[in-house]
Amino acid sequence: MKPETPCIVGIGQTVYTRWNAPLESTELGLGCEAIVAAASDAGMAVRDIDGVTSFGGDGCEPAMVQAALGLTEVRLSAILWGGGGGGSCGAVDLAAMAVMSGQAKAVVAVRSLAQGQTGRYGRYSAKRRHGSFIYPFGLLAAPQLLAMHVARYMHEHGVTQEQLGAFALACREHAQRNPAAVTRGRPLDMETYLSARIIADPLRLYDCCLETNGACAVLVTTWERARDLGAAPVPILSSAHGSSVGWSSGPLGAFNMPLESFATIGAASLANDLYGRAGVKPSDIDVAQIYDNFTGLALMAMEDYGLCPRGEAGAFSASGAIQWPHGALPVNTHGGNLSEAYIHGLNHVVEGVRQMRGTSTCQVGGAELCLVTGGPGPAPTSALILGRV
């Protein structure tokens, strides 16, 4: 391992709750709680953190974090523009670049949500930049917008409702082993999935991610510094964020993606860069944490990242291949956005670290490589490949 290799050395999270559950903290307070937990996990003093990154309009502004936690100095303050949950791995990418370049020594990527205080992500928002073009057509929130995207994908490849359901059921089954999961103790079967109300055809209730409060954080430093800390470092073998040709805001905006890549998440070129930088192939991946705002988009993501051929993710999921412990490629072993919590995808990075440390509640035996992807659809999107020391 090279001394400058970026590593995740600490992970932290708060309790995850329903979006409307009473909160005794603020979005900033939740974020600070997760940061303190990540520093403790790393065996590092909180004051030694000198960089803060995030995405998706987080309320944990570095100046406020510095004041709240007594950080000695802030050398990096960065947030990924646009893309919503597409920036979850991108925030870690920013942290990795900072420590590799020497811009900062220890950078924390944080995401905090207090939807009961700041507004639900699943509802109409008058702040959407392209609203004047899409609202007249009833495209008021993410489920309506992305339902059209999923419908096109299903039409082109013959994907069935039951295949969407297979992905949702796998996530829910994994969540039953995860004490942090909001849906633990509430298993799901195919009959219940198919009988659930339609939110926006073809998306049913359980095709849609949870709406939750909570925060999580990951602390990044170099391998050279990581060796002096207490926790097991997880090397970031590759990280990337960006956008494919012509994608712009994709299906969360004007739907002006190129026709040849319309029924995808527009991440194929990013995936090629990601694997190339790590020097690995999609077939080398042992476990994957795929951003799952909606089941159909998670299937498209699996295809863009080469985990199965184009148009075959539905059948791949229905075959049991993504289920722990016997599947060929377990996916979302914490339950994902669909069944653990919706922390805008940064919780997927936390689970990726656990898999590489060997501490997941659905641990994949002998796993050496974990793919983590950011939100599909909008630009930019992002991804990581994590390794094991």
Tell me the catalytic residues: 291, 342
Report the C-alpha gap between 35 and 46 in whole angstroms: 8
Rounded to 10 deg, the angle between the 62-69 and 27-42 helix axes is 60
Report the C-alpha gap between 96 and 76 in whole angstroms: 12
Q: Which residues pair with 240 in a beta bridge?
A: 383
> What string of DSSP letters covers 123-172?
S--TT-TTHHHHGGGT--SHHHHHHHHHHHHHHHHT--HHHHHHHHHHHH
* 124 close to 141: Cβ distance less than 8 angstroms: yes
Q: Where are the beta strands (DSSP E) in the chain?
A: 6-13, 17-18, 51-55, 76-80, 107-113, 198-200, 203-204, 212-222, 234-242, 287-289, 369-373, 381-387
Report the C-alpha gap between 98 and 77 in whole angstroms: 10
- Distances 191 to 46, 206, 222, 318 between C-alpha atoms, Å: 48, 12, 48, 15
- Please, what is the end-to-end C-alpha distance for the chain in angstroms? 9
Long-range CB contact pairs, 18-22, < 8 A, 24+: 18/182, 18/210, 18/211, 18/212, 18/213, 19/115, 19/116, 19/120, 19/211, 19/212, 19/213, 20/115, 20/116, 21/116, 21/213, 22/116
> What string of DSSP letters covers 296-357?
HHHHHHHHHTTSS-TT-HHHHHHTTTTSTTTSSS-B-TT-HHHHT--STTHHHHHHHHHHHH
* C-alpha torsion sign, points 338, 341, 342, 347: negative
